[in-house]
A and B are shown apart, each in its own frame.
Chain A
Amino acid sequence: MKARSALLLGSLSAALVAFALTSPRVVAADKVDPVADAKAFQNFFFQKFPDVKHEDFVNGPYSMNADMKRQWQEKEEFPPYEFALDAGKEMFATPFKNGKTYADCFPNRGIGIRQNYPYFDGKEGKVVTLELALNRCREGNGEAPYSYVKDEMASLTAYMAFTSRGKPMDIRIPDDPRALAAFENGKRYFYTRRGQLNFSCASCHVQSPGERIRAEILAPALGILNAMPIYRSEWSGMGTTSRRFVTCNSQTRAVPLEPQADEYRDVEYFLSYVANGLPISGPGARP
């Protein structure tokens, strides 16, 4: 195959590029079938880690390592995200200058709805994440949007996640070709290799969960968004889903996309949909 020999030559001529030689399987252009995809995705992890309780996958690296899990459970008595949670609760209740609040922008006044995000918005024809919906709420009420990677956004999503704790992820894909295309695009983004290290999201979170990369234990891709946002000691603070995606891209020496780029919205849709049924566990705390 031409592309393959070119790859081989490429990696021989330069140790710069760590091209792994995958053998591209020829896959027929088949239909997008999210139900079958989610089933296969969950089965893969359930079989790979038969000792992990299904609802435990949402605890990221802790689901993979008993020692770590014990330390974490001790920490949960004084969780490091508590500060963000309190701040988020207060922000959520504080009216904008026009007298409205976040509650006015969301179904059920924003309480216990985290498990329905991201959703496909038929009017826009695109995926809308919780972070995006929060900023649209702000802008619609005459307030400046928050940075997607900073504390305020993490505090707000931490509070909203907390009100949904334990509720099963419940992402819908409406019968709309654009929604199916968004799901498929998210899937493609998840499996596409990028960066000089030639890694896809799956290289780390499907092929190597439980393994160490530097000091960190890799989280399994199944339920990987259920604990967002997370407190991380390395960040000395909270991080949003946007921040995590950007960090993961940089680790492979890929220039990250802008937060809430279509690809990020779609990959969030894909990863959340395949986690349907698994409980929301956010906000999370990581070493």
Chain B
Amino acid sequence: MKRSLPLAMLLSLSLAPAARAANEADYKAAYAAAEAASKEAAGMRNQWTVTVSALAAAKKAGDSGDFDRAIAAAKEAEALAKASTFQATSEKEAWKAMEIR
């Protein structure tokens, strides 16, 4: 498997309170990763509304200099985006299980 969804999710949940205050560079990296994941989901035509909101929340917090909050939201957006690409990939075959035949 290309990406590990469970790992991404565990990571996003185990965000321990940062020992040092997060800085802008950390935020930019987290945001870029989230944005890339969400673009991949959109490319598969399977974006989730919650990903879009989490990404917007990250941007807003980042713009106001609240980098801890911004990073948390970006990580959440990334995990959601990865879950949605995972869903799209598994549904390529799994949809047939629901079919009326």
Contacts and interface: CB of A to CB of B under 8 A. Distances in A.
B6 interface: yes
B91 interface: yes
B6 A13 contact: yes
Contacts of B5: 6, 9-10
A193 B6 contact: no
Contacts of A196: 48-50, 80, 83-84
Contacts of A254: 46-49
- Give the interface size bracket for A toward B: 35 or more
Contacts of A44: 100
Interface of B (DSSP majority class): helix
B46 A194 contact: yes
Given A253-B49, A263-B45, A194 B90 contact: no
Given A22-B97, A188-B95, A198 B6 contact: no
21 contacts: A10-B6, A13-B9, A13-B13, A19-B87, A24-B94, A24-B97, A40-B101, A44-B100, A191-B96, A191-B99, A194-B88, A195-B48, A196-B49, A196-B80, A196-B83, A198-B87, A200-B95, A250-B49, A254-B48, A254-B49, A257-B45
**Which 6 pairs show the lowest CB-CB distances between chains A and B?**
A9-B6, A255-B47, A14-B9, A191-B95, A191-B98, A192-B95
